[in-house]
Chain A
Amino acid sequence: MRSGSGITAESVAFSFDGTTYHGQRGDTLAAALIANGVQLVARSFKLHRPRGIMAAGVEEASALVTVGSGAHGEPNVRASDVYLYPGLVARSQNAWPSLRRDIGAVNSLAAALIPAGFYYKTFFGPPSRWMLYERFIRRAAGLGQPPRLPDPDHYGHRSAFCDVLVVGAGPAGLNAALAATLAGKRVILIEQDVLPGGTLLREDVTINGAPGAHWAQYVVARILEAGGRVLTRTTATGYWDDNFVTAVERRVEPGQPGTGEAQVSWRLRCGEVVLATGAIERPLVFVNNDLPGVMLAGAVRELALRHGVVPGRRAVIATSHDEAYRTAFALAALGVDIVAILDSRADPAGPVIAVARARFTVLTDARPLRAWRRGMAMAGLEAQVGGTRQSFAIDCLAMSGGSSPVLHLHRQAGGALEFDAARGAFLPGAGRQRHSTLGAAAGVHDLAALLPDATVVDPLGAGTPPAPGPVWRDEAPGKAFVDFQNDVTTADLALAQREGYVSVEHTKRYTTLGMGTDQGKTGAMVALAQIADLRALPLPDTGLTTFRAPYTPVTLGAFAGPMRGDHAAPLRRLALANAHDALGALWVPAGAWMRPRAYPHQGESLGVASLREARMVRANVGVVDVSSLAKFEIAGPDALTLVAAVCATPVAKLAVGRGRYTVMLREDGMVMDDGTLWRLEETRWLLTSSTGGAARMARHLTYVADVLLGHPRAAVVDLGEHWAGLALAGPAAAHVLAGLTGAPVPAHMGLDAAHLAGVPVRILAASYSGERAFEVHVRRDQAAPVFAALVEAARAAGGGVYGLDAMDHLRVEKGHVVIGAEADGRTTPADLGMAGMLRKTGGYVGWQGLTRPALADAATRRQLVGLTALDAGAIAEGAMLVAREGAEPVGHVTTAAPRVAGEGAIALGLLLNGAARHGDRLLAWSPTRHSTVPVEVGPPLFFDPEGARYRD
């Protein structure tokens, strides 16, 4: 281990597949396993081939393990992306009965029978059969098992704003973040590693006289000191419009129980974004390039220089460019025998090569052809060296086939890509948002160039830029992998091209290339080079798949954050919620509101309770909480103008102290909402509308005022929350209310002010139930004593409270429509039988829309009707209205209810040309609920057609 690596001498016990090992704090699980001599870590996705550690970061494709136990278990964790903690428990996955003796490895023997596109060629037949096939496929191949218990971890959400966001704390990112901080900008620096430094953690360099890792920590300290924010263990998960970046911070390691937030999802709104996301080293393609012991050269170097760990004792370095030479020096310093360096270039030259030639065997025009294993680990390598083949007895191969700049965030931001043929890589082109790309992500690897103001000392000197490895052309028989996670070989790519899946998007889906948790980090560019060679195309012409977020897996809990359980969505509680609870309310969600549905007595069903409550209102008196209804005050000299524009009924002659039912239309003439309109003062009005439509009505009123009327002298004040509303209904309502206020009640559609239980209230005489009724409006924070007094008085009069279901039963009997049921956005006032109440002079929103010829033919309109069940069955809401089962529907049931006054079932419905079909008999047919009820069509009014009961 090296100073500044974050690794301490503290021993940490952990287990893998039931065996206890010891590592050092600061080590990754991958480093600790290698340090303990564990080379076999996983089985591959499809073929169950033995796999070990290949990479050193999130790009690890093969070494996926499940970390943690029980509910804390997290599958598919990259062994190179989890840091040791005491008690870490890791298990291999996709292997049975054991990792070493995995029966699934038989797939490897039958590999020729399960090539790319195997599913599509094999599993024919009806979809139901797929359910059968799936069971076997899931057992034969796959990743880890998700935990079956609820996730016990806590997840947080956090927003942050900055002038400059820097993604990546390698040398380029650190330098940019420090410069921005010192320039007085608000800076956030995020880094997915636990430590800052990036490549400095795996290179033997000094900056301004300090080891690279120390310099990184010094820079971070300066950024923090100057007020910047540095988030380590944080991965940028998406780059969205308007410089909005999401990131997830891990506060505990996978599988690690903790008391605080395990992960925090950051929403970062940035003035400018600097992407210093680095580059990912590419593998070389040859037969058995997936064996345990075959690793990326940079990963081997990181193990050696950061963790002090070596993956073998005899190693070959295979490369296509200078950088991997550095691995030879790092390994040699730890006593590893460097058997040879294989360089695919014919005549490499430069400082590092000169030094290497003096110390190691450097073979040029050389590249691996085939690796082999003994047991589960690499035992040797056959290579092409010029015109000959040579074999090497080795236990480790450090390979490098160039590097791929990490550009997913740049692409998600809409940035263009430019292909650099020399590097065989895409580099960032023009961006669409305010972002830039620095460092290795922009193709710049030279440390001195990245830090022009620093003194960089690199004993090995700068190398040439990474160049791509050679294309594989089946020089040896066997499987040569391009996508290690999904077991995609060069043969699979060739098969896809032969079978016509030449679009790279089709190749991806046919072969599973670049899918899974890996998203093609190491394999995508290698595969594109192979495809380009197969199709004899320049690489850019093969196309690119979409760079969708997230590039690195995100725990689903991080998306949900605290919005789970009772907080999955905001809930609105009535002011009197506790009082309703005390009365035994059964709650029902109505939009975001929770409203009392009924107050069942002991042993009483919901249906029985609702019907009892409704009959109580018809017979006597009941109290219902209608606080959630929308309430707007419209005040000012031009208030009448605004009210007249919004309401489609006559309004101008409404006297102060009077109200009326009204309806509000969309501009296309369809009913948007309904309610009551009251004239409180000469220039102050109260408009009520539906609970569910409150937000829409608020927007509509503002739209009409600001856009259609051009800012009249009228204010719209949303008082839906200010006023609680309590409706008192029934034949005894007037008597009960007068007893409480000590004053005469207002006439029907009149309003008055009064005191009730010592509290000032406003009383509106309006009926929704068909009975004499009053709405008592009281300030929400003063509602409790008023409600208590109303309930007590109602009970004393033989009545009580009633809920939403009873209210629904009552209004169905009266044919009153509900927004969303009968007024479903497709109905005009005429469809609902309201044409007669519209203002004849027009001038309201929707007036012109109603003149459209398409609305003129009543025979083509679905119109409101009443439906009476002709047998004892209950009518299903949503049932189709048909002449016979299976016939074309001519309408549907919008709301169904039992008769309150009488027996049997009734409903409201929308029926084609319904007003002309009274007396017809149809079926209310719901095949999904296995319900067919014969119904007779009639007017939408079942009770007190003269309205005698609610008038004075």
Chain B
Amino acid sequence: MTDVIASPAGALFALDLWHSADPAAVAAAISLALPAPGQAVEDERGTVLRLSRQRWWLLGDGFADLAHDSALTDHGVISAVGGGWTRVQMTRPDWRALLMTSGLIDAEHPDFGPGSTAISLLCHVRCVIHVRAAQACDIFVPASYTDHCLAQWRGQ
């Protein structure tokens, strides 16, 4: 049995960098670690997740001020997106099996350990997955699909 707890994503921001931007330089300019594809990092302000080539997610209240950081202006933009996502926290060892009943994702891959991120269809819904620990995983579900996904994950 997997514990499944859902809550609004809260302070969640999308950071988009222009294709011409150098992520390493931007990271240095705004004092923010920008993880590689498929990875997430945490600092005292919250969690940074890599979503795609040019997009990161910043999860945590501490990132709100970055939207006004002039060092970012020439390289990218930040947008608040948290209202649209539900954060589903799964704990206990069988969360990987639960994900693999919901879609085609290799959650059992040895490299898919803590700090990994992925975007995949779960229950036919595009979700963002963040492995927080060996026995804990966060799934960000588009808010309107929350009931649909939870019903399946909770076996309703």
CB within 8 Å of B: which residues of A? 156-161, 267, 269, 562-563, 566-567, 569-575, 593, 628, 633, 635-636, 684, 711, 713, 715, 717-724, 779-782
Contacts and interface: CB of A to CB of B under 8 A. Distances in A.
Contact of A572 (B14, B76, B100, B145): B145
A159 B143 contact: no
Given A570-B145, A721-B144, A713 B20 contact: yes
B143 A575 contact: yes
Given A563-B124, A711-B19, A718-B84, 14 more contacts: A159-B100, A159-B101, A269-B106, A570-B124, A571-B148, A572-B142, A573-B146, A628-B144, A636-B18, A715-B77, A719-B79, A780-B143, A781-B82, A781-B83
A722 B18 contact: no
Contacts of A571: 145, 147-148
A110 B143 CA distance: 66
B76 A715 contact: yes
A690 to B, nearest CB: 16
A721 B16 contact: no
Contacts of B83: 719, 721-724, 779-782
Contacts of A780: 83-84, 143
Nearest to A711: B19
Given A593-B144, A721-B85, A159 B103 contact: yes
Contact of A158 (B79, B101, B146, B147): B101
Interface of B is mostly: mixed
Chain B interface size band reads: 35 or more
B81 interface: yes
Nearest to A574: B144
B46 interface: no
A73 to B, nearest CB: 26
Given A267-B104, A635-B77, A721 B147 contact: no
B46 to A, nearest CB: 17
Contacts of B103: 159
Given A158-B100, A781-B83, A567 B144 contact: no
Given A160-B108, A161-B106, A567-B151, A633 B79 contact: yes
Nearest to B7: A781
A684 B100 CA distance: 39
A567 B144 CA distance: 14
Contacts of A161: 106, 108-109
Contact of B125 (A570, A723, A724): A570
A571 B124 CA distance: 10
B142 A721 contact: yes
A572 B83 CA distance: 15
Contact of A722 (B81, B101, B125): B81
Contact of B84 (A159, A636, A722): A722
Interface in B114-156: 123-125, 142-148, 151-152
15 contacts: A159-B100, A159-B105, A160-B100, A161-B106, A269-B104, A269-B106, A562-B152, A563-B124, A628-B144, A636-B16, A684-B77, A715-B14, A715-B54, A715-B79, A719-B79
Contacts of A713: 18, 20
Contacts of A158: 97, 100-101
Q: Which of A157, A569, A713 has the most CB of B within 10 A?
A: A713
A230 to B, nearest CB: 15
A635 B97 CA distance: 39
B76 to A, nearest CB: 7
B4 interface: no
B93 interface: no
Given A722-B81, A780-B83, A711 B18 contact: yes
Nearest to B15: A715
Closest 3 CB pairs of A and B: A721-B84, A715-B16, A779-B83
B18 A570 contact: no
Nearest to B146: A573
B124 A635 contact: no
A717 B18 CA distance: 13
Nearest to B142: A721
A635 B151 contact: no
A563 B19 CA distance: 40
A567 B156 CA distance: 10
B108 A573 contact: no
B101 to A, nearest CB: 5
Contacts of B23: none
A20 to B, nearest CB: 37
A708 to B, nearest CB: 14
Nearest to A572: B144
Contacts of A635: 16, 77, 79
A719 B84 contact: yes
A241 to B, nearest CB: 14
Interface string B82-116: 11110000000000010011011110110000000
A157 B101 contact: yes
B111 to A, nearest CB: 11
A779 B10 CA distance: 10
B138 to A, nearest CB: 17
A782 to B, nearest CB: 7
Contact of A567 (B77, B101, B152): B152
Nearest to A566: B151
A781 B125 CA distance: 20
Contacts of B123: 570
Interface in B54-94: 54-55, 76-77, 79-85
Interface in B1-45: 8, 14, 16, 18-20
Nearest to B101: A158
A563 B97 CA distance: 18
A717 B144 CA distance: 17
Nearest to B19: A711
Nearest to A269: B104
A567 B84 CA distance: 22
Contacts of A574: 144
A567 B97 CA distance: 20
A717 B51 CA distance: 13
Nearest to B102: A157
B144 A573 contact: yes
A631 to B, nearest CB: 9
Contacts of B79: 633, 635, 715, 717, 719
Given A572-B144, A573-B144, A636-B18, A156 B101 contact: yes
A572 B123 CA distance: 12
B152 A720 contact: no
A557 to B, nearest CB: 15
Contact of B148 (A157, A570, A724): A570
Nearest to B80: A722
Q: Which of B20, B103, B105, B145 has the most CB of A within 10 A?
A: B145
A157 B103 CA distance: 8
Contacts of B85: 721
Nearest to A161: B106
B151 A717 contact: no
B148 to A, nearest CB: 5
Nearest to A717: B79
A711 B77 CA distance: 14
Contacts of B77: 635-636, 684, 715
B35 to A, nearest CB: 19
